[in-house]
Amino acid sequence: MKFLDLCKVYIRSGSGGNGCISFRREKYIEFGGPDGGDGGRGGDVWVEAVDGLNTLIDFRYQQHFFAENGRPGAGRQRTGADGDDIVLRVPVGTEILDEDEETVIADLTELGQRVLLAKGGNGGWGNLHFKTSTNQAPRRANPGQEGVERTIWLRLKLIADVGLLGLPNAGKSTFLAATSNARPKVADYPFTTLHPNLGVVGVDDAEFVVADIPGLIEGAHEGRGLGDLFLGHVERCAALLHLIDGTSGTLLEDYQTIIDEIEAYGAGLADKPRVTVLNKIDALDDEERAFLKEELERKAGHDVMLMSGVSGEGLTEVLRALRKHVRTTRKREQATEEQAPWQP
Protein backbone atom coordinates (compact mmCIF):
# COMPACT_ATOMS: atom_id res chain seq x y z
CA MET A 1 0.00 0.00 0.00
CA LYS A 2 1.39 3.39 -1.00
CA PHE A 3 1.72 6.12 1.62
CA LEU A 4 -0.04 9.45 1.14
CA ASP A 5 -0.33 12.04 3.91
CA LEU A 6 -1.70 15.13 2.12
CA CYS A 7 -4.53 15.41 -0.38
CA LYS A 8 -7.10 17.86 -1.70
CA VAL A 9 -10.79 16.93 -1.61
CA TYR A 10 -13.91 18.56 -3.02
CA ILE A 11 -17.15 18.05 -1.08
CA ARG A 12 -20.76 19.14 -1.53
CA SER A 13 -23.75 18.52 0.69
CA GLY A 14 -27.11 17.68 -0.82
CA SER A 15 -29.64 20.34 -1.79
CA GLY A 16 -33.11 20.24 -0.27
CA GLY A 17 -36.04 19.09 -2.35
CA ASN A 18 -38.60 21.61 -3.68
CA GLY A 19 -41.98 21.98 -2.08
CA CYS A 20 -45.02 20.82 -4.03
CA ILE A 21 -48.04 22.79 -5.25
CA SER A 22 -50.99 20.44 -5.24
CA PHE A 23 -54.71 20.40 -4.42
CA ARG A 24 -56.88 17.62 -3.15
CA ARG A 25 -58.99 16.37 -6.02
CA GLU A 26 -61.54 13.74 -5.11
CA LYS A 27 -65.01 13.02 -6.39
CA TYR A 28 -67.81 14.65 -4.40
CA ILE A 29 -65.33 16.86 -2.50
CA GLU A 30 -65.75 20.29 -4.03
CA PHE A 31 -63.25 22.29 -1.95
CA GLY A 32 -60.43 19.87 -1.17
CA GLY A 33 -57.86 22.54 -0.42
CA PRO A 34 -54.07 22.46 -0.76
CA ASP A 35 -52.21 19.22 -0.02
CA GLY A 36 -48.70 19.83 -1.41
CA GLY A 37 -45.97 18.20 0.72
CA ASP A 38 -42.57 19.53 1.75
CA GLY A 39 -39.28 18.65 0.08
CA GLY A 40 -36.81 16.32 1.79
CA ARG A 41 -33.52 17.41 3.43
CA GLY A 42 -30.28 17.14 1.54
CA GLY A 43 -27.64 14.76 2.80
CA ASP A 44 -24.75 15.90 5.05
CA VAL A 45 -21.02 15.39 4.50
CA TRP A 46 -19.22 13.86 7.50
CA VAL A 47 -15.64 12.83 8.21
CA GLU A 48 -14.91 9.96 10.60
CA ALA A 49 -11.70 8.51 12.06
CA VAL A 50 -11.75 4.73 11.55
CA ASP A 51 -9.50 1.84 12.47
CA GLY A 52 -7.31 -0.05 10.03
CA LEU A 53 -6.07 2.90 7.95
CA ASN A 54 -2.65 4.56 8.05
CA THR A 55 -2.63 6.39 4.72
CA LEU A 56 -4.83 8.70 2.64
CA ILE A 57 -4.12 6.84 -0.60
CA ASP A 58 -7.85 6.19 -1.23
CA PHE A 59 -8.38 9.90 -1.77
CA ARG A 60 -5.87 9.95 -4.64
CA TYR A 61 -8.34 8.01 -6.81
CA GLN A 62 -11.50 9.81 -5.69
CA GLN A 63 -11.38 13.49 -4.83
CA HIS A 64 -15.06 14.47 -5.25
CA PHE A 65 -17.66 13.54 -2.64
CA PHE A 66 -21.26 14.64 -3.13
CA ALA A 67 -24.11 13.86 -0.75
CA GLU A 68 -27.51 12.99 -2.18
CA ASN A 69 -30.11 15.69 -2.84
CA GLY A 70 -33.46 15.62 -1.08
CA ARG A 71 -36.49 14.50 -3.11
CA PRO A 72 -39.26 17.01 -3.94
CA GLY A 73 -42.55 16.88 -2.09
CA ALA A 74 -45.70 15.42 -3.65
CA GLY A 75 -49.47 15.70 -3.45
CA ARG A 76 -51.55 14.11 -0.69
CA GLN A 77 -49.31 15.83 1.86
CA ARG A 78 -46.39 13.53 1.04
CA THR A 79 -42.94 14.77 2.14
CA GLY A 80 -40.00 14.01 -0.13
CA ALA A 81 -37.36 11.53 1.01
CA ASP A 82 -34.22 12.88 2.68
CA GLY A 83 -30.94 12.56 0.81
CA ASP A 84 -28.37 10.06 2.07
CA ASP A 85 -25.35 11.36 3.97
CA ILE A 86 -21.81 10.65 2.78
CA VAL A 87 -18.95 9.83 5.14
CA LEU A 88 -15.23 10.35 4.46
CA ARG A 89 -13.35 7.62 6.35
CA VAL A 90 -9.86 8.70 7.34
CA PRO A 91 -7.07 7.37 9.61
CA VAL A 92 -6.80 8.47 13.22
CA GLY A 93 -4.56 11.55 13.38
CA THR A 94 -5.97 13.29 10.29
CA GLU A 95 -6.28 17.07 10.27
CA ILE A 96 -9.01 18.74 8.22
CA LEU A 97 -7.75 22.02 6.76
CA ASP A 98 -9.60 24.75 4.91
CA GLU A 99 -8.74 25.64 1.33
CA ASP A 100 -5.98 28.00 2.50
CA GLU A 101 -4.13 24.97 4.00
CA GLU A 102 -3.69 26.88 7.28
CA THR A 103 -7.08 27.06 9.03
CA VAL A 104 -7.71 23.84 10.97
CA ILE A 105 -11.37 22.80 10.76
CA ALA A 106 -11.00 19.63 12.84
CA ASP A 107 -8.32 17.35 14.24
CA LEU A 108 -9.36 13.70 14.50
CA THR A 109 -7.14 12.24 17.21
CA GLU A 110 -9.50 9.58 18.60
CA LEU A 111 -10.99 6.47 17.05
CA GLY A 112 -14.64 6.97 16.10
CA GLN A 113 -14.43 10.78 16.23
CA ARG A 114 -16.90 12.27 13.75
CA VAL A 115 -17.20 15.84 12.45
CA LEU A 116 -19.79 17.52 10.24
CA LEU A 117 -18.09 19.24 7.28
CA ALA A 118 -21.09 20.40 5.24
CA LYS A 119 -24.74 20.43 6.28
CA GLY A 120 -27.40 19.51 3.76
CA GLY A 121 -29.99 22.06 2.64
CA ASN A 122 -33.48 22.11 4.13
CA GLY A 123 -36.41 21.04 1.99
CA GLY A 124 -38.83 23.68 0.70
CA TRP A 125 -42.33 24.05 2.06
CA GLY A 126 -45.26 22.84 0.00
CA ASN A 127 -48.38 24.97 -0.53
CA LEU A 128 -50.09 23.24 2.41
CA HIS A 129 -47.88 25.35 4.71
CA PHE A 130 -49.21 28.60 3.26
CA LYS A 131 -52.90 27.92 3.83
CA THR A 132 -54.57 30.61 5.96
CA SER A 133 -58.10 31.69 6.73
CA THR A 134 -57.86 34.37 4.07
CA ASN A 135 -55.86 32.39 1.53
CA GLN A 136 -57.34 28.91 1.39
CA ALA A 137 -55.94 28.04 -2.02
CA PRO A 138 -52.31 29.19 -2.02
CA ARG A 139 -50.44 28.62 -5.25
CA ARG A 140 -46.91 29.03 -3.96
CA ALA A 141 -44.22 26.71 -2.62
CA ASN A 142 -40.62 27.20 -1.54
CA PRO A 143 -37.64 25.80 -3.42
CA GLY A 144 -35.19 23.62 -1.51
CA GLN A 145 -32.14 25.19 0.11
CA GLU A 146 -28.90 24.81 -1.83
CA GLY A 147 -26.20 22.50 -0.50
CA VAL A 148 -22.79 23.68 0.71
CA GLU A 149 -19.84 23.26 -1.65
CA ARG A 150 -16.26 23.61 -0.39
CA THR A 151 -12.69 22.49 -0.93
CA ILE A 152 -10.73 21.00 1.96
CA TRP A 153 -7.32 19.46 2.57
CA LEU A 154 -6.70 16.26 4.50
CA ARG A 155 -3.34 16.02 6.25
CA LEU A 156 -2.31 12.91 8.13
CA LYS A 157 -0.12 13.20 11.22
CA LEU A 158 0.65 9.75 12.50
CA ILE A 159 -0.08 8.98 16.15
CA ALA A 160 3.17 7.88 17.79
CA ASP A 161 4.84 8.19 21.18
CA VAL A 162 8.42 8.63 19.97
CA GLY A 163 9.74 10.24 16.79
CA LEU A 164 13.14 9.49 15.25
CA LEU A 165 15.28 12.39 14.04
CA GLY A 166 18.59 12.38 12.23
CA LEU A 167 20.45 12.89 9.00
CA PRO A 168 20.08 10.31 6.21
CA ASN A 169 21.89 7.08 7.13
CA ALA A 170 22.03 7.95 10.83
CA GLY A 171 20.63 4.51 11.65
CA LYS A 172 16.96 5.36 12.25
CA SER A 173 15.52 2.49 10.21
CA THR A 174 18.07 0.07 11.68
CA PHE A 175 16.97 1.11 15.17
CA LEU A 176 13.30 0.56 14.31
CA ALA A 177 14.01 -2.85 12.77
CA ALA A 178 16.12 -3.91 15.78
CA THR A 179 13.55 -2.94 18.40
CA SER A 180 10.22 -3.81 16.74
CA ASN A 181 8.63 -6.11 14.17
CA ALA A 182 8.60 -3.33 11.60
CA ARG A 183 10.68 -4.01 8.50
CA PRO A 184 11.70 -0.66 7.01
CA LYS A 185 14.10 -0.57 4.09
CA VAL A 186 17.73 -0.49 5.22
CA ALA A 187 20.58 0.25 2.80
CA ASP A 188 23.98 1.95 2.65
CA TYR A 189 22.87 4.99 0.66
CA PRO A 190 20.99 8.16 1.71
CA PHE A 191 17.19 8.53 1.68
CA THR A 192 16.37 4.82 1.84
CA THR A 193 13.33 5.87 3.88
CA LEU A 194 10.91 7.72 1.61
CA HIS A 195 7.81 7.65 3.82
CA PRO A 196 7.18 7.29 7.57
CA ASN A 197 7.20 3.87 9.22
CA LEU A 198 5.62 2.88 12.53
CA GLY A 199 6.76 0.19 14.94
CA VAL A 200 5.60 -0.98 18.36
CA VAL A 201 8.54 -1.18 20.76
CA GLY A 202 8.52 -3.04 24.07
CA VAL A 203 10.75 -2.71 27.14
CA ASP A 204 10.17 -3.84 30.75
CA ASP A 205 6.59 -4.98 30.00
CA ALA A 206 5.70 -1.57 28.56
CA GLU A 207 4.98 -0.74 24.92
CA PHE A 208 5.04 2.47 22.92
CA VAL A 209 4.87 3.42 19.24
CA VAL A 210 7.92 4.75 17.39
CA ALA A 211 7.73 6.72 14.12
CA ASP A 212 10.63 6.69 11.68
CA ILE A 213 10.61 9.58 9.19
CA PRO A 214 12.87 10.35 6.21
CA GLY A 215 16.20 11.96 7.09
CA LEU A 216 16.63 15.72 7.26
CA ILE A 217 19.44 17.63 5.61
CA GLU A 218 20.58 21.22 5.90
CA GLY A 219 17.99 23.49 4.29
CA ALA A 220 15.15 20.96 4.61
CA HIS A 221 12.81 23.73 5.85
CA GLU A 222 13.44 25.46 2.50
CA GLY A 223 12.53 22.32 0.54
CA ARG A 224 15.96 20.72 0.08
CA GLY A 225 16.05 16.94 -0.04
CA LEU A 226 12.62 15.60 0.87
CA GLY A 227 11.86 18.82 2.74
CA ASP A 228 10.41 18.93 6.23
CA LEU A 229 6.82 17.89 5.44
CA PHE A 230 7.30 14.60 7.26
CA LEU A 231 8.10 16.42 10.51
CA GLY A 232 4.34 16.75 10.94
CA HIS A 233 4.28 13.06 11.84
CA VAL A 234 6.33 13.67 14.98
CA GLU A 235 4.40 16.74 16.16
CA ARG A 236 2.16 14.56 18.35
CA CYS A 237 5.04 12.54 19.84
CA ALA A 238 5.74 12.66 23.56
CA ALA A 239 9.51 12.44 23.04
CA LEU A 240 12.10 12.61 20.27
CA LEU A 241 15.09 10.33 19.67
CA HIS A 242 17.94 12.17 17.96
CA LEU A 243 20.37 9.70 16.38
CA ILE A 244 23.85 10.85 15.35
CA ASP A 245 26.20 8.78 13.21
CA GLY A 246 29.33 8.13 15.28
CA THR A 247 31.35 7.33 12.16
CA SER A 248 30.67 10.73 10.59
CA GLY A 249 33.63 13.07 10.31
CA THR A 250 31.38 16.08 10.98
CA LEU A 251 29.73 14.96 14.21
CA LEU A 252 29.03 18.36 15.76
CA GLU A 253 27.85 19.86 12.47
CA ASP A 254 25.45 16.94 12.00
CA TYR A 255 23.96 17.54 15.44
CA GLN A 256 23.52 21.26 14.85
CA THR A 257 21.90 20.71 11.44
CA ILE A 258 19.00 18.74 12.96
CA ILE A 259 18.56 21.24 15.81
CA ASP A 260 18.44 24.13 13.33
CA GLU A 261 15.87 22.35 11.16
CA ILE A 262 13.41 21.54 13.96
CA GLU A 263 13.72 25.09 15.30
CA ALA A 264 13.01 26.48 11.82
CA TYR A 265 10.00 24.15 11.48
CA GLY A 266 8.45 25.31 14.76
CA ALA A 267 5.27 23.62 16.10
CA GLY A 268 7.01 23.13 19.45
CA LEU A 269 9.33 20.35 18.24
CA ALA A 270 12.44 21.99 19.70
CA ASP A 271 10.78 22.07 23.15
CA LYS A 272 9.86 18.39 23.27
CA PRO A 273 11.82 16.01 25.53
CA ARG A 274 14.73 14.74 23.47
CA VAL A 275 17.13 11.83 23.93
CA THR A 276 20.42 12.36 22.07
CA VAL A 277 22.24 9.16 21.09
CA LEU A 278 25.64 8.57 19.53
CA ASN A 279 24.90 5.67 17.19
CA LYS A 280 27.06 3.08 15.40
CA ILE A 281 29.51 2.74 18.32
CA ASP A 282 30.26 -0.83 17.19
CA ALA A 283 32.65 0.80 14.69
CA LEU A 284 34.45 2.82 17.42
CA ASP A 285 36.99 1.80 20.05
CA ASP A 286 36.70 2.83 23.70
CA GLU A 287 38.93 5.87 23.32
CA GLU A 288 36.97 7.20 20.34
CA ARG A 289 33.67 6.62 22.12
CA ALA A 290 34.74 8.58 25.18
CA PHE A 291 36.19 11.45 23.13
CA LEU A 292 33.16 11.82 20.81
CA LYS A 293 30.70 11.51 23.70
CA GLU A 294 32.47 14.29 25.59
CA GLU A 295 32.57 16.54 22.52
CA LEU A 296 28.89 15.98 21.78
CA GLU A 297 27.80 16.56 25.39
CA ARG A 298 29.70 19.83 25.43
CA LYS A 299 27.90 20.88 22.24
CA ALA A 300 24.43 19.70 23.26
CA GLY A 301 24.57 20.80 26.88
CA HIS A 302 23.06 17.56 28.20
CA ASP A 303 23.89 13.87 28.56
CA VAL A 304 24.46 11.77 25.43
CA MET A 305 23.82 8.03 25.32
CA LEU A 306 25.81 5.44 23.36
CA MET A 307 24.15 2.82 21.18
CA SER A 308 24.57 0.46 18.25
CA GLY A 309 21.49 -0.63 16.34
CA VAL A 310 23.44 -3.40 14.62
CA SER A 311 25.05 -5.08 17.65
CA GLY A 312 22.29 -4.14 20.08
CA GLU A 313 24.67 -2.50 22.54
CA GLY A 314 22.93 0.19 24.58
CA LEU A 315 19.50 -0.42 23.01
CA THR A 316 17.75 -1.33 26.26
CA GLU A 317 19.08 1.72 28.08
CA VAL A 318 17.88 4.01 25.27
CA LEU A 319 14.42 2.40 25.27
CA ARG A 320 14.13 2.84 29.03
CA ALA A 321 15.04 6.51 28.77
CA LEU A 322 12.41 6.98 26.04
CA ARG A 323 9.77 5.12 28.05
CA LYS A 324 10.40 7.43 31.02
CA HIS A 325 9.93 10.55 28.89
CA VAL A 326 6.78 9.13 27.26
CA ARG A 327 5.22 8.27 30.59
CA THR A 328 6.01 11.68 32.11
CA THR A 329 4.72 13.63 29.10
CA ARG A 330 1.49 11.64 28.79
CA LYS A 331 0.74 12.08 32.51
CA ARG A 332 1.31 15.83 32.16
CA GLU A 333 -1.00 15.99 29.15
CA GLN A 334 -3.69 14.02 30.96
CA ALA A 335 -3.48 16.31 34.00
CA THR A 336 -3.79 19.35 31.73
CA GLU A 337 -6.90 17.93 30.06
CA GLU A 338 -8.52 17.19 33.42
CA GLN A 339 -7.87 20.75 34.63
CA ALA A 340 -9.19 22.33 31.45
CA PRO A 341 -12.62 24.00 31.86
CA TRP A 342 -15.57 21.99 30.62
CA GLN A 343 -17.04 23.16 27.34
CA PRO A 344 -20.48 22.07 26.09
The answer to the question of whether 273 is labelled as a binding residue is: no
Q: How many CB atoms lie within 10 A of CB 201?
A: 22
Q: Which residues pair with 199 in a beta bridge?
A: 210
- What three-state secondary structure class fits 39? coil
The answer to the question of whether 36 is labelled as a binding residue is: no
- What three-state secondary structure class fits 231? helix
The answer to the question of whether 171 is labelled as a binding residue is: yes
Letter string b/e over residues 326-337, b meaning 16 or more CB atoms within 10 A of that residue's CB: beebeeeeeeee
The answer to the question of whether 160 is labelled as a binding residue is: no
The answer to the question of whether 195 is labelled as a binding residue is: yes
The answer to the question of whether 166 is labelled as a binding residue is: yes
Please report the beta strands in 157-218, taking only residues with DSSP state E, as ranges in sequence order: 162-165, 197-203, 206-212
The answer to the question of whether 13 is labelled as a binding residue is: no
The answer to the question of whether 168 is labelled as a binding residue is: yes
The answer to the question of whether 94 is labelled as a binding residue is: no
The answer to the question of whether 23 is labelled as a binding residue is: no
The answer to the question of whether 193 is labelled as a binding residue is: yes
The answer to the question of whether 280 is labelled as a binding residue is: yes
The answer to the question of whether 215 is labelled as a binding residue is: yes
- What three-state secondary structure class fits 302? coil
The answer to the question of whether 31 is labelled as a binding residue is: no
The answer to the question of whether 282 is labelled as a binding residue is: yes
The answer to the question of whether 302 is labelled as a binding residue is: no
Letter string b/e over residues 3-38, b meaning 16 or more CB atoms within 10 A of that residue's CB: eebebebebbbbbbbbbbbbbeeeeeeeeeebbbbb
The answer to the question of whether 197 is labelled as a binding residue is: no
The answer to the question of whether 120 is labelled as a binding residue is: no
Q: Are strands 206-212 and 274-279 parallel, antiparallel or unpaired?
A: unpaired
The answer to the question of whether 15 is labelled as a binding residue is: no
Contact predicate 169/189, CB 8 Å: yes
| Whole-number Å distance between alpha carbons of 6 and 238 | 23
Locate all alpha helices (DSSP H) within 7-52, ordered by sequence: none
The answer to the question of whether 281 is labelled as a binding residue is: yes
Task: Write out the binding residues for Mg(2+).
Answer: 173, 193
Task: Write out the binding residues.
Answer: 166-173, 191-195, 212-215, 279-282, 308-310
Task: Write out the binding residues for GTP.
Answer: 166-173, 191-195, 212-215, 279-282, 308-310
